[in-house]
């Protein structure tokens, strides 16, 4: 049914022109780095009583959003991150989290439909560094959006994590079922390379057994924990000295930047520099301050309680296989991503895994453990190979039957 004429609205040429001007004005604001609409999570609008200017600043949720990026970089899944953030007071769905992690606003840039794919440097403070944002989004590229895990895929935690040695493509997974006479259904799970030239599959039992063998090669013998801990503490002390010098240098640099920013603000307030130069200078200084503040925050974390971190790392290193075997799906993914952040490679010809880049701390622990183990074996071997004519060392020096 058509609406009465008096309720019909016809867009005139003037209205169209007005809308075009409005859109052009909005686009112009965006190109200047000014955000339009609701402030993203972790931010709020703030209007100064003095200048009456409205700007975007951090709110109380900002640290939680930064934590989400840091957890993602450490290998946490969106499910784990959303749960932790929600427990800390910010209710966040997995979909909203995914959108948040992909939003360049958090590293200081604007992306908007009106910009037609262009990314513009924003005038708001960056919550994280560009480096962290890019690293997290490299991880997200490997996870298809909108894909729902089937329940049976929980039996395939190495899916997409393991790559084929021949073609370099990540392995996929599938399952088969068999219905018994009593009506019970048995499921069989397989990993598969879909490349035509490779075209192979392996049962999850075989692949998981080989993965446990790989974990065991990095696993620390608990009997060696006191010795390894001593060596790690020496290395951490050496690292601490160099980190402390770097930390002091960054604190000095931070003080200089703050002084420069105050000077620019003062010169602008008394009219010695115009607004354009002030904006350019202050934005540059604020960006440098944000970067150095993030570096200082990371350094503070690294410098805090190294003995406790070493202890936790050693316990984890001594339980690698058990952590993975007894963990649920999410915990298995966490172990995999912590140990091998770039994934691993499967050599079908030799039926074994190869690692391209293992976690540096775990690799160091494994190397120290291997060194001590070989040393002990040499000592036992040397002791067994001693000639019967050689007496054991005691109060008197040993004789060699001469």
392 has pLDDT over 60: no
Mean pLDDT of 379-387: 46
What the block records as the tokens of 363 is: 């690799």
Evaluate whether 218 touches 206 at the Cβ level (below 8 Å): no
| Res 6: pLDDT | 42
| Res 101: pLDDT | 94
Structure confidence at residue 25 as a pLDDT band (50, 70, 90) = confident
More confident residue, 299 or 138: 138
Quote the CA–CA distance of 117 and 121 in Å, as a whole number. 13
What the block records as the tokens of 337 is: 């991503």
Mean pLDDT of 1-22: 54
129 has pLDDT over 90: yes
More confident residue, 184 or 23: 184
DSSP of 204-245, one letter per residue? HHHHHHHHHHHHHHHPPPGGGHHHHHHHHHHHHHHHHHHHHH
Among 214, 220, 234, 217, residue whose Cα is nearest residue 316: 220
The three-point CA angle 204-162-83 to 5° equals 85
> Among residues of the chain, what percentage have pLDDT more than 90?
21
Quote the CA–CA distance of 21 and 13 in Å, as a whole number. 12
* Predicted TM-score of the model (pTM): 0.45
More confident residue, 142 or 317: 317
| Res 380: pLDDT | 45
What the block records as the tokens of 28 is: 């112009």
> Which range has the worst mean pLDDT, 156-170, 171-185, 201-215, 308-322?
308-322
Give pLDDT tens digits for 65-120. Answer: 999 999 898 888 888 888 888 888 888 888 889 899 999 999 999 988 888 788 89
SS (H, E, C) 260-310: HHHHHHHHHHCCCCCHHHHHHHHHHHHHHHHHHHHHHHHHHHHHCCHHHHH
Mean pLDDT of 389-394: 34
Structure confidence at residue 384 as a pLDDT band (50, 70, 90) = very low
More confident residue, 176 or 148: 176
Mean pLDDT of 162-186: 87
| Res 149: pLDDT | 41
Q: Which residues contact 235 (CB under 8 A, 6 or more apart)?
A: 364
What the block records as the tokens of 157 is: 């935690």
The DSSP bridge pattern shows strands 200-203 and 172-179 to be unpaired
Quote the CA–CA distance of 40 and 191 in Å, as a whole number. 40
Q: Which residues contact 390 (CB under 8 A, 6 or more apart)?
A: 398, 399, 400, 401
Question: Which stretches does DSSP call E strand in 30-184?
Answer: 43-47, 54-58, 109-111, 119-121, 162-164, 172-179
Quote the CA–CA distance of 223 and 42 in Å, as a whole number. 47
| Res 386: pLDDT | 40
Structure confidence at residue 301 as a pLDDT band (50, 70, 90) = very low
Evaluate whether 39 touches 45 at the Cβ level (below 8 Å): yes
Evaluate whether 220 touches 366 at the Cβ level (below 8 Å): yes
Quote the CA–CA distance of 361 and 347 in Å, as a whole number. 25
Q: How far apart are the first and last CA of the chain?
A: 121
| Res 147: pLDDT | 40
| Res 306: pLDDT | 64
> Among residues of the chain, what percentage have pLDDT more than 70?
76
Give pLDDT tens digits for 244-286. Answer: 667 778 888 888 888 888 888 888 888 888 888 888 888 888 8
> Which range has the worst mean pLDDT, 17-31, 216-230, 363-377?
363-377
Question: Mean pLDDT over all residues of the chain?
Answer: 78
Measured in degrees and rounded to the nearest 5, phi and psi for residue 43 equal -125, 165
199 has pLDDT over 70: yes
| Res 206: pLDDT | 94
């Amino acid at each position: 049914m058509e609406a009465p004429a008096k309720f019909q609205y016809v867009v005139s040429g003037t209205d169209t022109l007005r809308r075009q001007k409005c859109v052009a004005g909005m686009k112009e604001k965006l190109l200047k780095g000014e955000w339009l609409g609701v402030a993203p999570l972790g931010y709020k609008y703030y209007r100064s009583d003095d200048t009456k200017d409205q700007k975007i600043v951090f709110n109380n949720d900002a640290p939680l959003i930064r934590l989400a990026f840091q957890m993602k970089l450490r290998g946490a899944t969106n499910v784990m991150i959303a749960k932790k953030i929600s427990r800390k007071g910010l209710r966040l769905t997995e979909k909203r989290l995914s959108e948040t992690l992909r939003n360049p606003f958090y590293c200081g840039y604007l992306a908007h439909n009106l910009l037609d794919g262009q990314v513009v440097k924003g005038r708001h403070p960056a919550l994280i560094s560009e480096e962290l944002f890019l690293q997290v989004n490299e991880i997200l590229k490997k996870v298809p959006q909108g894909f729902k895990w089937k329940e049976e895929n929980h039996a395939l935690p190495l899916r997409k994590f393991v790559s084929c040695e021949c073609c370099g493509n990540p392995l996929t997974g599938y399952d088969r079922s068999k219905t018994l006479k009593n009506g019970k259904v048995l499921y069989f799970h397989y990993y598969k390379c879909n490349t035509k030239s490779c075209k192979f599959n392996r049962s999850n039992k075989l692949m998981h057994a080989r993965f446990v063998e790989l974990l065991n090669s990095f696993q620390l013998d608990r009997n060696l924990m006191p010795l390894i801990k001593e060596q790690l503490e020496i290395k951490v002390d050496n690292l601490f000295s160099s980190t402390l010098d770097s930390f002091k240098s960054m604190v000095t640099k931070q003080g200089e930047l703050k002084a420069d920013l105050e000077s620019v603000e003062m010169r602008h307030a008394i009219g010695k520099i115009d607004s354009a130069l002030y904006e350019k200078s202050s934005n540059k200084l604020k960006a440098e301050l944000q970067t150095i503040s993030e570096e200082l925050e990371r350094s503070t974390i690294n410098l805090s309680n190294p003995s406790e971190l070493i202890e936790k790392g050693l316990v984890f290193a001594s339980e690698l296989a058990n952590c993975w075997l007894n963990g649920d799906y999410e915990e298995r993914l966490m172990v995999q991503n912590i140990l091998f952040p770039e994934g691993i490679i499967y050599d079908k010809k030799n039926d074994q895994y190869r690692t391209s880049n293992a976690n540096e701390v775990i690799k160091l622990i494994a190397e120290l453990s291997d060194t001590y183990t070989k040393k002990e074996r040499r000592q036992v071997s040397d002791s067994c190979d001693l000639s019967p004519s050689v007496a054991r060392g005691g109060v008197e020096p040993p004789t060699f039957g001469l």
